[in-house]
Amino acid sequence: MRITDAKVIVSCPGRNFVTLKITTEDGIYGLGDATVNGRELAVASYLSDHVAPLLVGRDARRIEDTWQYLYKGAYWRRGPITMAAIGAVDTALWDIKAKSLDAPLYQLLGGASRESVLVYGHASGNDVEDTVAAVADFAKRGYTAIRAQSAIPGIPSTYGVGRGKLYYEPAESGNPPENVWSSELYLNFVPRLFERLRKEFGSEVHLLHDVHHRLTPIEAGRLGRSLEPYHLFWLEDPTPAELQEGFRLIRQHTTTPIAVGEVFNTIFDCQLLIREQLIDYIRNAVVHSGGISHLLKIAHLAELYQVRTACHGATDLSPVCLAAALHFDLAVHNFGIQEYMHHSAETERVFKHGYTFSQGTMYPGDAPGLGVDIDEALAAQYPYQRACLPVNRKLDGTMHSW
């Protein structure tokens, strides 16, 4: 089954997406998401200039060999752009293989380990009471796991506070907007938020929170400890994970479960954290971590250490990526939870998908392959628009992690 074409589709139906479409000689095609938010054209060029010419003529069924060929063959290993490109090829080849066998992808990954996939939604508000109302709204819609973020009094804008009820979309057109940050104000505020949420919603709902890489390890330890009475499902990205030893310090000080991984690219970023049991959930995205093949290796390593998977699922990952994650989630034994944010109506029109949401869970569908298609004519009506994630400065103007 030779590959005859590998085409990169860049479009902006509400936000930018890079999609790889690989076609084979017998007409079967597969899709892979290659979106790196704010750096989309770098992956598009990597794929069309450097990878597509290598794919034409290859046997589409040789997924592992193609992965190793692109990874080892690049010489320049790892990094978000390379791994997103490889991830897109890998996902598209799994889509093709599953379609050619007339089976939904999860059947090739070992079959369903569960009936459906637990997902968490994103509730946010402009203050504590606004966030309480947003969590109530998610609970009403059937979510049993809800991430809660709130604006912080004294800081004009912060990560994770949505513009509407369903969507949180940080990418802005033009150059990056500047946010302001204070760890002191944040650390004092967040425990009050979760105290209030537990009082309102009782102990059963799963509450999650994303620190978004902003604290030092000892500050993160303090936050985790102060949140222990409210038993969070997890505290996400408490400190930038480049300093992996920092997680030892966090672990010494708190039993609040820790989730990390959305900016990781390979198993090499995960292995120390997993082997030393410094984290509880590993959150790689299918697209940014080399696709299904590589994510399976990470999941199997994590299974040995009782670390569970929790794929990144923000709206800057396309429906192709979400579908791939849902097949993976349904199949791997040590699945924990899946992030889920609604895509915009324009995105949903461009990417037709078979996955469904019901009562706080999702199901990837039983269509052959990933169960996602792209309407190329419609995608062409939404040309790429340059957009950037915000940057973040402390109150005194010093650059900080966003």
Chain positions contacting ligand GCO, by CB under 6 A: 37, 170, 210, 212, 262, 312, 314, 316, 339, 389
If one counts every other C-beta atom within 10 angstroms of the C-beta of residue 32, the result is: 32
Q: Is residue 329 involved in binding Mg ion (CB under 5 A)?
A: no
One-character DSSP codes across 109-154: TT--SSSSEEEEEEEEESSHHHHHHHHHHHHHTT-SEEEEEE--TT
* CA Rg value for the chain: 20
Q: Which two tokens stand for residue 47?
A: 């794929």
Q: Which residue is closest to Mg ion by CB? A: 210
**Torsion of the alpha carbons at 213, 216, 217 and 218, rounded to the nearest 10:** -140
Residue closer to ligand GCO (CB basis): 170 or 360: 170
Among positions 199-258, residues that touch Mg ion (CB under 5 A) are 210
**Cα dihedral across residues 349, 136, 227, 326: positive or negative:** negative
Closest listed residue to residue 123, CA positions, set 90, 107, 104, 145: 145
Q: CA 113, 256, 152: angle at the middle one, nearest 5?
A: 110
Catalytic residues: 159, 212
Residues 313/340, Cβ–Cβ less than 8 Å: yes
Number of helices (H) and strands (E), helices first, in the chain? 14, 20
Q: Which does 314 bind (CB under 5 to 8 A by kind): ligand GCO, Mg ion, none?
A: ligand GCO
Among positions 143-202, residues that touch Mg ion (CB under 5 A) are none
Residues 256/228, Cβ–Cβ less than 8 Å: yes
Residue 133 CA, chain-centre distance (Å), reads 25
The least distance separating Mg ion from the CB of residue 108, rounded to whole angstroms, comes to 29
Q: Which does 37 bind (CB under 5 to 8 A by kind): ligand GCO, Mg ion, none?
A: ligand GCO
Q: Which does 339 bind (CB under 5 to 8 A by kind): ligand GCO, Mg ion, none?
A: ligand GCO
The least distance separating ligand GCO from the CB of residue 168, rounded to whole angstroms, comes to 7
Residue closer to ligand GCO (CB basis): 197 or 337: 337
Residue closer to ligand GCO (CB basis): 30 or 313: 313
State how far the Cα of 140 lies from the Cα of 14, in Å rounded to an integer. 26
Residue closer to ligand GCO (CB basis): 210 or 219: 210
Residue closer to Mg ion (CB basis): 11 or 338: 338
The least distance separating ligand GCO from the CB of residue 33, rounded to whole angstroms, comes to 13
Contact positions vs Mg ion (CB under 5 A):
210
